[in-house]
Chain A
């Protein structure tokens, strides 16, 4: 099976210390109001919770198998890497249109205030390049986040997946199931927060109206040219009516 980096998270272990959020911000130089990861918690209604305690749900971009962010990107700047399954942003190719940001059901993306391009969690590509784990994983004091290739039982995340296949849950919006690669063990906490994926109006207009219309217009023009060319080739000696042509002015 192809390599798919992901996380298996035991929400029950999370103590809402927000260490992962701080570590991520520092490791990835995430500016001001922008965040790559989060901890979701439900209402503080203790009676509603089984064990009478709050479940905190750590998360970040889920490197989905059917990523709506990729479908919304017109340039291919956002794509799913074939080698490790991480959804990547090519900053040079990104034009900052923000279509992908709107299209993610998890709000996992933001417009980087400094770089002015789309940005999100990439499982700390720069740290992985030097053999480190993502910053949030290294920092977590309770080891709630376990990271690795979900399809390889030889590494911790893969092993957890293999052992808990039936029990592990994905947090999804039923209307846009992107098949995320963040799995939760045991009680996952709040599950109703992902929204339906929204394609921006300009994109929908392009796809449904502008694209077919332009194809028709260019196609008609091409057909017209081909027809004229065919006529020209077939009627070899089709000349304008001699001498009477263009004589309206009567100056001759």
Chain B
């Protein structure tokens, strides 16, 4: 194979927002974890918040840094949202939130089995039960990507909402409103935990697993090999062919 036929998958704006998002998310996760300091909670032990606070010159600075990056992150997203609403955002939301129950559930089960067992084992073990070695064809996003994207979008909205409540507490709230702040901390933590769990799988799939290596590379180059598209996102590929 000299140079395989490449097809266009990601715009530059999409690639930018992806990596910008990734960088902010990392920063917010690790500063956020360091903002929790209570012997009964400390998710990473007491040493972690102390070390990060030392780097930032105290917990108060750490809190300001967390807020600042969160606000910049949000501002860029709001800008991207309105700027690219019809071109990228609406199609993305449409694609990720439309599930085809039959196809997508089947894909999820098979893919998970395959990831755990490997193709060969999978074929050996499940073939007698009628497994034909094939995944249901997928659209631009596969079912796993869709579910992860949904979780992360909802998680992000919850994080933004509860984050603002905590931020506003110091400026607008009265003593009667603090229950809202208290629950916001707890819910913020839960949303961060759930999105982290999803993102760990996302990072594995993209950056480490061999199957999705072309997709990872496309997050830099914007293109995927036609072969890859045909096998991993068959419905999308066919749609492109028809055009």
Contacts and interface: CB of A to CB of B under 8 A. Distances in A.
Contacts of B210: 232
Contacts of A111: 174-175, 178
Contacts of B119: 238-241
A2 interface: no
Contacts of A92: 58-61, 63-64
A141 interface: no
A245 B178 contact: no
Interface string B114-145: 01111111010000000011111100000000
Contacts of A71: 38-40
Interface in B202-236: 204, 208-211, 230-232, 234
A35 to B, nearest CB: 14
Contact of A77 (B59, B171, B201): B59
Contacts of B135: 245-246
A232 B193 contact: no
Nearest to B178: A98
Contact residue range for chain B? 35 or more
A246 B201 contact: no
A73 interface: yes
Given A90-B60, A111-B175, A224 B36 contact: no
Given A76-B38, A248-B137, A97 B116 contact: no
A93 B197 contact: no
A219 to B, nearest CB: 9
B170 A206 contact: no
Interface string A196-235: 0000111101110011011101101110110111011001
A132 B1 CA distance: 84
A13 B17 CA distance: 69
A81 interface: no
B189 interface: yes
Interface stretch (B75-83, B91-99, B180-188): B180-188
Contact of A98 (B175, B190, B198): B175
Nearest to A219: B197
A43 interface: no
B185 A202 contact: yes
Contacts, number: 175
Contacts of A153: none
Given A245-B231, A249-B234, A75 B37 contact: yes
Interface in B57-113: 58-64
A74 interface: yes
A224 B41 contact: no
A95 B169 contact: yes
A116 interface: yes
A227 B201 CA distance: 11
A51 interface: no
A247 interface: yes
Contacts of B194: 214, 217
Nearest to A91: B60
A74 B36 contact: yes
A45 interface: no
B178 A217 contact: no
A202 B183 contact: yes
A224 B175 contact: no
Nearest to B210: A232
A93 B63 contact: yes
B136 A248 contact: yes
A99 interface: yes
B182 A229 contact: no
A239 B84 CA distance: 38
A214 B118 contact: no
A229 B204 contact: yes
A238 B135 CA distance: 16
Contacts of B118: 231, 235, 238
Contacts of A77: 59
A207 B60 CA distance: 23
Contact of B193 (A76, A97, A218, A227): A218
B4 to A, nearest CB: 16
Given A98-B175, A249-B234, A73 B190 contact: no
A96 B170 contact: yes
8 contacts: A75-B63, A77-B59, A98-B181, A111-B174, A203-B186, A205-B186, A211-B43, A229-B204
Given A75-B63, A210-B190, A215-B193, 15 more contacts: A74-B36, A74-B37, A90-B59, A93-B60, A95-B63, A97-B181, A99-B182, A101-B178, A110-B175, A116-B169, A214-B43, A214-B189, A214-B193, A232-B209, A244-B133
